[in-house]
Structure 1
Amino acid sequence: MTSITRNLPWFIRDLGISIVGKECYTSLIENLDIGDVKCIKYSISKGLGIGIVLGGSIMKVPQILLITRAQSARGLSLPAYILETLSYAITLLYAYRNEFPFSTYGENLFLTIQNILITLLIILYAPRAAAADKTANAVIASLAILVFFLACSLVPLPILAFLQLTTLPLSLFSKLPQISQNYRAQSTGQLSAFAVLSQVAGCTARLFTTATEVGDSLVAAGFALALVLNLVLGAQLWQYWGRDDLEAPAAEKEKLKEARAAVNTTAAAVPAYKPEPAAWQRAATPPPSSPSLGGRKWARKVD
């Protein structure tokens, strides 16, 4: 069997080495050494990392589709998404500048981009804001994001490490507004179940890959806290599944009120239908007296 594994095509060999490294490729693929626990753990970590990166590239797409199809971001907390986007962006820049393997942080690139888009959609679909205000707020938010990325790319690494430490409270406060809003409304609104469950799975896997490949306690602590908070959101999705939002926007309530009033007005304007009595139900009406009959009154003969 080893005679086959040691003579695989060059493109398969190069791909394997690029993923798990030459040492582990030689041990696990060429020599088929299934007792090499270190390389097995490393290979599992790499596989999970690649899967998380690929999953992260589409994780928030269902959430984006829910918002655009409903033309509403009801149930989504703007402060929560702003703080979560900051947390993703800081982790992305921290890992990139420390030259961590892309498989250990790559999903943060895609999640940051998707979160920025969701944040802008929440601003654009704000229920009680004028169109001009929505556009202005979206432009301001975009510029703020650009300035933030430029600043984090230029600050010294010790300051960036401090910012990475701040992702712990950022993760906490990014989920608390959403958790609180769900609790008040007794509903999760347009919150995507796929996104929440994917984040739970991703954070669990990231704890393993971080411990295996990076060993950075700051990054691991961030993923651990994010896992706990996403589990709370998952529990709320299960608890409030199928419930309507009790805190629907005032405009929606007003429309519903007007619709009901219109129905009641229409019902009042239409006269009630009264069926004609049947022939046997009609009372006999005597004809008027006639002078030609001598003023004699008509009387019904009773048998």
Structure 2
Amino acid sequence: MESAVLWFCNWSTLVVCAALKLPQIHAQLAARSARGISLPSLLLELAGFLVFLRYQCYYGSPLLTYLEYPILIVQDVILLLCVFHFNGNMRQAGPYAAVFVSSWFVLGLQKWLIDLAMYLCTFISAASKFVQLRHLWETQDSGAVSALTWGLSAYTCAARIITTLMTTTDFAILIRFVIMLALNIWVTLTVLQYQKAGSKDK
């Protein structure tokens, strides 16, 4: 029974993550606008994903417990390129790419460095959600933000809480997923609230 639950959580997370950002990318392309999407939030989220992936690789965690992160990183990069394109700032993408790539190598130089980065990663990822929430509160407009993407993110966090408890029981990872679950649900509800308000105004 336990192995079946672990198998389901691992593979359902991978399947969901394979399409996680597609609703957001589609919504952005359909609107031909980055309205409602916070660039700082996306950058912080990508930084959190990179640190988490580097941590898992460094400690040799089971591949299935983090395989979705390369997929999420690719999708976030596509999202960022769309935001830069629709905001007319494509030249800004280069320096950000250089920082992220160099960070990957720097983080693996010392054990204390990757451990510290992992704890900071939770704050970075949480900050990305709060930045998006603040953007929504200030504009009171969900724009091209996809509630489905945020809802699916909440599901993957819940699944990863289960897989972490059943495999590594790594406290730092567990705390990260609990916090991310709560914040993803909060963002999802906020987006739905503004979508509902927007449809009433129409």
TM-score, reference length from structure 1: 0.62
Is the partner of 1:138 in helix, strand or coil?
helix
Q: In the alignment, does 2:99 pair up with 1:144?
A: yes
Shift of 1:109: 1.4
Aligned to 1:201: 155
Aligned to 2:73: 112
- Whether the 8 Å CA contact 2:24–2:149 is kept in 1: the answer is yes
- The 5 A counterparts of 1:214-225 are 214-225=168-179
1:179 is aligned, of 133, 138, 153, to 133
Shift of 1:244: 4.1
Aligned to 1:252: none
1:155 is aligned, of 109, 113, 126, to 109
Query: 1:109-131: CA deviations, max 9, x gaps?
Result: 111111122122212211xxxx5
Q: In the alignment, does 2:29 pair up with 1:65?
A: no
Shift of 1:142: 2.0
Aligned to 2:90: 135
Is the partner of 1:69 in helix, strand or coil?
helix
Is the partner of 2:195 in helix, strand or coil?
coil
- Whether the 8 Å CA contact 1:67–1:190 is kept in 2: the answer is yes
Larger Rg: 1
Provide the rounded CA distance (Å) in 2 between the counterparts of 1:175 and 1:92. Answer: 19
Structure with higher helix content: 2
Aligned to 1:46: 7
Query: 1:177-198: CA deviations, max 9, x gaps?
Result: 1101111222211111211110
Shift of 1:237: 2.2
**1:198 corresponds to which letter in structure 2?**
L
Shift of 1:242: 3.9
Where does the alignment leave 5 or more consecutive residues of structure 2 unmatched?
A: none
**1:206 corresponds to which letter in structure 2?**
R
- Whether the 8 Å CA contact 2:81–2:90 is kept in 1: the answer is no
**2:122 corresponds to which letter in structure 1?**
L
Report the identity percentage: 22
Where does the alignment leave 5 or more consecutive residues of structure 1 unmatched?
A: 1-39, 246-303
- Whether the 8 Å CA contact 1:46–1:103 is kept in 2: the answer is no
Aligned to 1:100: 61
Provide the rounded CA distance (Å) in 1 between the counterparts of 2:52 and 2:46. Answer: 10
Query: 1:229-262: CA deviations, max 9, x gaps?
Result: 11111211232124449xxxxxxxxxxxxxxxxx
- The 5 A counterparts of 1:1-303 are 40-126=1-87, 131=88, 134-152=89-107, 154-244=108-198
- Whether the 8 Å CA contact 1:104–1:206 is kept in 2: the answer is yes
Provide the rounded CA distance (Å) in 2 between the counterparts of 1:52 and 1:101. Answer: 14
Higher relative contact order (CA closer than 8 Å, sequence separation 6+): 2
Provide the rounded CA distance (Å) in 2 between the counterparts of 1:242 and 1:149. Answer: 41
Query: 1:124-181: CA deviations, max 9, x gaps?
Result: 211xxxx5xx2321222222222222323x3223311110111121122111111011
Aligned to 1:36: none
**Across the two proteins, how many residue pairs are aligned to each other?**
199
Is the partner of 1:99 in helix, strand or coil?
coil
TM-score, reference length from structure 2: 0.92
Provide the rounded CA distance (Å) in 1 between the counterparts of 2:55 and 2:7. Answer: 20
Provide the rounded CA distance (Å) in 2 between the counterparts of 1:149 and 1:214. Answer: 23
